[in-house]
Amino acid sequence: MQFMDDLEFVQKCTKGDKLAWDEFVERYSRLIYSYIHSVLKIRSQNSHSSETVDDLFQEIFVLLTKDNFSKLKTFKAKNGCSLSSWLRQVTTNFTIDYLRCLKPTVSLEEGAEENLILKDIVPDNSDIPSQAAIEEERLFHLSDCIQKLDDDDRFFLELFINKGLSLEQLKRALRISRGAVDMRRARIVERLKHCFKSKGFALDF
Amino acid sequence: MPDKLEQLISRVYKIWKSKQPVPGDYHPDEEDISCLLEGKLPYVEAERIKLHLAGCDKCAELFILPSILGDAEEKDVPQGLLAKAKDLVQNAGDNSILEIILKLRENFLQLVNTTGDILVGREFVPTPVLRSRNIGDFKDEIFILKDFRNVRVEVKIGSKNGRSFILSVGVKEKSTQKPARGLRITLLKEGIELESYQAESGKALFENVLLGKYSVVIARAEEKIAGISLDIGE
């Protein structure tokens, strides 16, 4: 039994091999259709009709084939990366672009903001404006501790804090075990706690 | 709800981030991101892209969505959409595919559709004629042929207890009706070659083929001269 690799398969399609193209549609339609549905569900505040999913599905296939398959030809199987994974990204990108066009002024991360209030963290002196500014300055002073982390740890914080990924989602994004996620989180927290203290920030928690 | 220390870290991180420069014009493409998600990028390249993702919300969105979605809930694609997607690539103009859709029953074969002509008695008839005669079931085997640009392809499908089938493919030169020589006949399923024969006598036999969707590619000197799309269900 011989396996046709993804790149060879794509090249057959882009050469106009009708059989290969039909095979492509059979193999990847479900993935593309399901992904459009999921991205719309998770990233859109409004429900979308099945017509929207159908329209996006057709547009993605047009995108892949138009101008003599110019989009599909950009898949190079670089580093052995799979066609299904690439198609997931193309689908995600296309669907997100569609949502951005719908709401060009609304951030896709709206609603993900934390309701953090500074006074919950540091002593509440906000009735004195200059005191609030001082506290902000103190926090800025601590940001040096973030700078001292290595790139991987900062990337972890970016996904966890700014993007709001759960620990389970981090596991998938970083391709590490759940135990490794917990350990990295604890290690970063410990490092920062130590650094904050070294800068004279009193932590009574 | 994170504890107070994590709230403090969050606040400090956001202050730090607000002071960071915006990444430049370079944005990783879809293949870069999918490779990163699959863990297949070389370390240095992976680190470079992660650095970009940390500062570029638009690209980061593409990276994190697959992690949030995990394995997307499977949805059936409407048949009409599949047909439209397939139609985006037209046949090469020479009617280069013989399509056969069958259902395998315990005691007979049921023909759903084909673009070839079917042997009934001593004559070959197209599917619409077959329908007009209310013929759709075939007892042991079905024989279909189709003329391509230079060759005639003859396909014989026989049932084996309703669970598998035997597929026989014969190819003749259209002009002489003699067996075509120098052919390679290959049976594929989902892009994977299952069996492939150098068919010097113009014939290939595939035995014990299970139910499913298959393609048969008939090639001469690396060039495809005919193809069969076979869908056999139960």
Q: Is there a domain that residue A204 lies in?
A: no
Q: Which of A23, A115, A144, A181 to mutate to test the interface with B (most CBs of B within 10 A)?
A: A23
Same structural domain, A10 and A92 = yes
* Euclidean distance between CA atoms B41 and B33, whole angstroms: 9
- Residue A203 covered by a domain: no
Instruction: Choose one of A69, A102, A135: the last residue of a domain.
Output: A102
| Single-letter code of the amino acid located at A143 | S
Report the gap between the CA of A45 and the closest CA in chain B (Å): 16
Question: Domain boundary at A77, A102, A127, which?
Answer: A102
Is residue A26 domain-shared with residue A53, that is, in the same domain?
yes
SS3 state of residue B86: helix
Domain hosting A96: range is: 6-102
Nearest CA in chain A to B97: A19
Same domain, A86 and A166: no
Residue A112, domain member (yes or no): no
B222: left (phi over 0), alpha (psi -120 to 50) or beta: left
Task: Calculate the alpha carbon distances from A183 to A171, A186, A191, B39 in Å.
Answer: 12, 5, 12, 20
Residues in chain A with CB shorter than 8 Å from the CB of B214 are: none
**DSSP structure string for B115-136:** SSEEEETTEEEEHHHHHHTT--
- pTM comes to 0.56
Per-residue buried b or exposed e for A108-129, using 16+ beta carbons within 10 Å of the residue's own CB: beeeeeeeeebeebbeeeeeee
Q: Which residue has the tokens 């398959």?
A: A69
For residue B17, give both structure tokens. Answer: 């981030």
Does residue A171 fall inside a structural domain? yes
The pLDDT assigned to A196 comes to 85
How near does any CA of chain B get to the CA of A47, in Å?
16
- On the 0-12 / 13-18 / 19+ scale of CB atoms within 10 A, A41 is middle
Is residue A114 within 8 Å of residue B10, measured between CB atoms? yes
Residues A94 and A180 in one domain: no
Q: What radius of gyration, in Å, describes the C-alpha atoms of chain B?
A: 27
> Tokens standing for A132?
């609030």
Residues A32 and A98 in one domain: yes
Q: Is the dihedral of CA A197, A199, A201, A202 positive or negative?
A: positive
Q: Between residues A116 and B213, which one has the greater pLDDT?
A: B213
Same-domain pairing of A186 and A132: yes
Which carries the bigger pLDDT value, residue B8 or residue B156? B156
Q: Which residues of chain A have pLDDT under 50?
A: 1-3, 104-126
Distance from C-alpha of B137 to C-alpha of A18, rounded to nearest angstrom: 29
Which residue of chain A is at minimal alpha-carbon distance from B6?
Answer: A189
Render pLDDT for B59-109 as a digit per residue (tens, 0 to 9).
888 888 888 887 767 888 999 999 989 988 875 444 568 889 988 877 788
Same domain, yes or no: A15 and A88: yes
- Please check whether residues A17 and A92 belong to one and the same domain: yes
- Of A26, A38, A146, Cβ closest to residue B213: A26
Per-residue pLDDT averaged across B132-154, rounded?
A: 84
Q: Which two tokens stand for residue A172?
A: 């998938």
pLDDT band at B6 (very low <50, low <70, confident <90, very high): confident
Cα B232 to Cα A205: distance, rounded to the nearest angstrom: 67
The stretch B142-165 carries a mean pLDDT of 86
For an interface test with B, give the residue of A1, A11, A26, A56 to mutate (most B CBs within 10 A). Answer: A26
- On the question of pLDDT at B144 being above 70, the answer is yes
In this prediction, residue A93 carries a pLDDT of 92
Q: Of the candidates A9, A21, A89, which has its C-beta nearest B86's C-beta? A: A21
Of A75-79, A85-89, B125-129, B175-179, least confident by mean pLDDT is B125-129
Are A84 and A161 found together in one domain?
A: no
Residue B5 has a pLDDT of 83
The chain A residue lying nearest B43, using CA atoms, is A152
Number of domains in chain A: 2
State percent of chain B over pLDDT 90: 28
Residues A77 and A123 in one domain: no
The whole-number pLDDT of residue A114 equals 41
CATH assignment at residue A25: 1.10.1740.10
- Domain end point (choices A48, A70, A102): A102
Confidence (pLDDT) at B96: 65
User: Do A76 and B7 lie within an 8 Å CB cutoff?
Assistant: no
Q: What is the pLDDT of residue A77?
A: 92
In a shared domain, residues A162 and A188 = yes
**pLDDT digit string, tens, across residues B15-61:** 888 888 877 778 899 999 999 989 899 999 999 899 898 888 888 88
A134 and A84 inside one domain: no
Q: What is the pLDDT of residues A153-182, one digit of tens each?
A: 888 988 988 888 888 888 888 888 888 888
Is A131 among the domain residues? yes
For residue A111, the model assigns a pLDDT of 40
In a domain, A113, yes or no: no
Residue type, B137: D
Instruction: Closest CB to A172: pick one of B57, B70, B96.
Output: B70
Q: What is the DSSP string of chain A?
A: -BPPPHHHHHHHHHTT-HHHHHHHHHHHHHHHHHHHHHHHHHH-SS---HHHHHHHHHHHHHHHHHHHHTTGGG---GGG--HHHHHHHHHHHHHHHHHHHH-TTS-TTTT------HHHHS---TTSHHHHHHHHHHHHHHHHHHHHS-HHHHHHHIIIIIS---HHHHHHHHT--HHHHHHHHHHHHHHHHHHHHHTT-----
**Distance, CA of B136 to CA of B157 (rounded, Å):** 14
